[in-house]
Structure 1
Amino acid sequence: MRITVTGSIATDHLTVFPGRFRDQLLPDRLDHVSLSFLADTLDVRRGGAAANIATGLARLGQRPVLVGAAGKDFAEYAAWLESAGVDTGSVRVSETLHTARFLCTTDADHRQIATFYAGAMAEARHISLAAVARRVGTPDLVVVAPNDSAAMLRHTAECRALGISFVADPSQQLAWLDREETRRLVVGARYLFTNAYEAAFLLERTGWTRDEVLTRVGAWITTHGADGAEIARQGEPAERVPALRTPDAVDPAGVGDALRSGFLAAVARNLPPGTALRLGCALATIVLESAGTQEYKVVPTDLLSRVLDAYGPGEAAALEPLLGELP
């Protein structure tokens, strides 16, 4: 199965302020705030939902095509993605703007002040999936991950027009979409992904009930953090998959993207959705134990052992052919 992943490409610039923001704020001067914080660490990480998902797919033996917009500073990031096995030939590189950036400072109380700069991501609306198909062939599945909202709507419409199956993953962009736009992103999706909060938000945005959503998608996967995930289909009981427990959690960033990667890599091998979701949960745990969204390594024997311990020999046997082909 050929998978194309559309969505955001970004870098995260993470700093730590050893003091407390609250000590710098004067309640009677909040209308004149002008502050700076001396940070003692800076961590620059590669990120963006589409890039994260594509990297996970590549680590599980796929050769995904990444579709999104990046900035004139993208060359080093592109080389990293290519070395991981991601096709970046359909990434639009802006001539004037920088790659999207998430700038965040965390204080001693774990409070955060953050800014997101969309930058080149705004140019993703100019990317045509038809042009991508001419370059690499028509994909079997297109992931519409969080991105410039106009780009998400365009890619979804193109999938319908071209008869391509697609994954709807609106995530945080739900806050910027109106009712009609949200419905257009969802209707006809082979898979819909949300977390539990986004699921409630999606129902509010669309005005549909849960059952009405399920009549419009092939399956709805909802993540529940430490409580795992579930997959629901019209007319069937929801299947709940527990998360893997770990005492070595480091950073939750990118965990949801990893779950999507694992799920889609298994689906690409025609494995049942429940088995696919178990692989997604296992990969998500590996990312949870790593600092950064793409810095983890997949060791096939370790991943298979985790599946065996968590879900039993049947699921491990189902996934062994896929994992056994990984280097």
Structure 2
Amino acid sequence: MRIAVTGSIATDHLMTFPGRIADQLLADRLDHVSLSFLVDALEIRDGGVAANIAYGLARLGHRPLLAAAVGADFAPYGQRLSALGVDVSGVRVSRTRHTARFLCTTDPDGNQIASFYPGAMTEAADIDLLDALRPGGGADLVLIGADDPAAMLRHTRACRAHGIRFAADPSQQLARLDGPQIREIVDGADHLFTNEYEHALLLAKTGWSHADVLRRVGVWVTTLGEKGSRVERADDPPLDVPAVATAEATDPTGVGDAFRAGYLAALAAGEGAARCAQSGSALAAQALSCVGTQTYTTTAARLRDLTTAAYGPHTPPGGDTV
């Protein structure tokens, strides 16, 4: 199964604040916030949702196609991904802009305040997805991740027009997209990925009911942080999958991307809904124990062992093939 991943590629600036971010927010002063956090640590890492997911898939033995826009400063980053097995032939290099930057401050509770500068990502709409897919013989599934909104819409339309199976993963861009744009990106998706907050935001901005969304997508996967994930399909009861416990929760940045990589790898192997989510949770736990989004190491065999150790060797009832 060949998987293509579109979305952001970025350089992450990850900072750690030793206090609690929530304690610095005064309920009667939220209309005029002026805060500066003195942080204890700064890590500069390769990141971006598309690259993070592609990294995880490559670690699990896949050769995903990465389709995104970057700056000329991407060269060392791209070489590293290529050496790991990511196909970077679909990456567009801007002549004038730097690769996107993600700046994030995290507290001990896992709360985060972040900013994202798109840089070269603003040129992602110039990528012709079909041209990028053609040299490798197409794709069995395209994950459309957070990206320049025009690019997300263009890629979705290309998949829909040519009958290519796609997964909608709008994540951070839900805040930027309007209701009609979200509806277009989601409608007809084989899979829809959100976290718990994005789940509610998507409903609010589209005006759709929960049942409306389930009628328009094949599978809706919602990650729930330390509570695990929920997999939903129309006319089926929701499937709740607990998270995998980890001895040390080091850095939550990119954990959701690792979940998606683990989920998609299991989906590609023909696993049922429950096992896909379990595989995603097992890989997310590995990512959570590391600083940075592409610093964990794993293999398909190790992930299978971790998943079996956490959940047992058999898919629970209700885990029929997605």
- TM-score over 0.5 (shorter chain): yes
Q: Given the two structures, how large is their TM-score scaled by the length of structure 1?
A: 0.87
Q: Which residue of 2 aligns with 1:147?
A: 147
Tell me the secondary structure at the aligned position of residue 74 of structure 1. Answer: helix
Fraction of identical pairs, as percent: 54
Please say which structure displays the higher CA radius of gyration: 1
**Which residues of 2 match residues 1-327 of structure 1 at below 5 A?**
1-15=1-15, 41-104=41-104, 114-299=114-299, 302-315=302-315
Q: Given the two structures, how large is their TM-score scaled by the length of structure 2?
A: 0.88
Cα offset, 1:172, TM superposition: 1.4
Cα offset, 1:40, TM superposition: 6.7
Uncovered stretches (5+) of structure 2, i.e. residues with no partner: 25-30, 317-322
Cα distance change of structure 1 residues 210 and 266 upon mapping to structure 2, 3 Å threshold = same
Give the residue type in structure 2 aligned to 1:103. L
Tell me the secondary structure at the aligned position of residue 201 of structure 1. Answer: helix
Cα distance change of structure 1 residues 38 and 222 upon mapping to structure 2, 3 Å threshold = closer
Tell me the secondary structure at the aligned position of residue 78 of structure 1. Answer: helix
Give the residue type in structure 2 aligned to 1:71. G
Q: Provide the C-alpha distance between the structure 1 equivalents of 2:112 and 2:313, rounded to a whole number of angstroms.
A: 43
Tell me the secondary structure at the aligned position of residue 4 of structure 2. Answer: strand
Q: Provide the C-alpha distance between the structure 1 equivalents of 2:118 and 2:71, rounded to a whole number of angstroms.
A: 10
Uncovered stretches (5+) of structure 1, i.e. residues with no partner: 24-29, 317-327
Q: Provide the C-alpha distance between the structure 1 equivalents of 2:226 and 2:113, rounded to a whole number of angstroms.
A: 25
CA root-mean-square deviation: 2.9
Give the residue type in structure 1 aligned to 2:95. E
Cα offset, 1:313, TM superposition: 2.3
Give the residue type in structure 1 aligned to 2:210. R
Q: Provide the C-alpha distance between the structure 1 equivalents of 2:267 and 2:120, rounded to a whole number of angstroms.
A: 31
**Aligned 8 A contact 1:219 1:233 in 2:** yes
Cα offset, 1:117, TM superposition: 1.3
Give the residue type in structure 1 aligned to 2:269. R
Cα distance change of structure 1 residues 37 and 133 upon mapping to structure 2, 3 Å threshold = closer
Give the residue type in structure 2 aligned to 1:117. Y
Give the residue type in structure 2 aligned to 1:256. G
Tell me the secondary structure at the aligned position of residue 258 of structure 2. Answer: helix
Deviations 1:203-238 (A, max 9, x none): 111111111111100010011111110110010111
Tell me the secondary structure at the aligned position of residue 152 of structure 1. Answer: helix
Q: Provide the C-alpha distance between the structure 1 equivalents of 2:227 and 2:39, rounded to a whole number of angstroms.
A: 35
Q: Which residue of 2 aligns with 1:27?
A: none
Q: Provide the C-alpha distance between the structure 1 equivalents of 2:138 and 2:278, rounded to a whole number of angstroms.
A: 28
Cα distance change of structure 1 residues 18 and 283 upon mapping to structure 2, 3 Å threshold = closer
- How many equivalent pairs are there? 311
**Which sits farther off after the overlay, 261-270 or 100-109?**
100-109
Give the residue type in structure 1 aligned to 2:148. D
**Aligned 8 A contact 1:58 1:64 in 2:** yes
Tell me the secondary structure at the aligned position of residue 55 of structure 2. Answer: helix
Tell me the secondary structure at the aligned position of residue 293 of structure 1. Answer: coil
Give the residue type in structure 2 aligned to 1:147. D
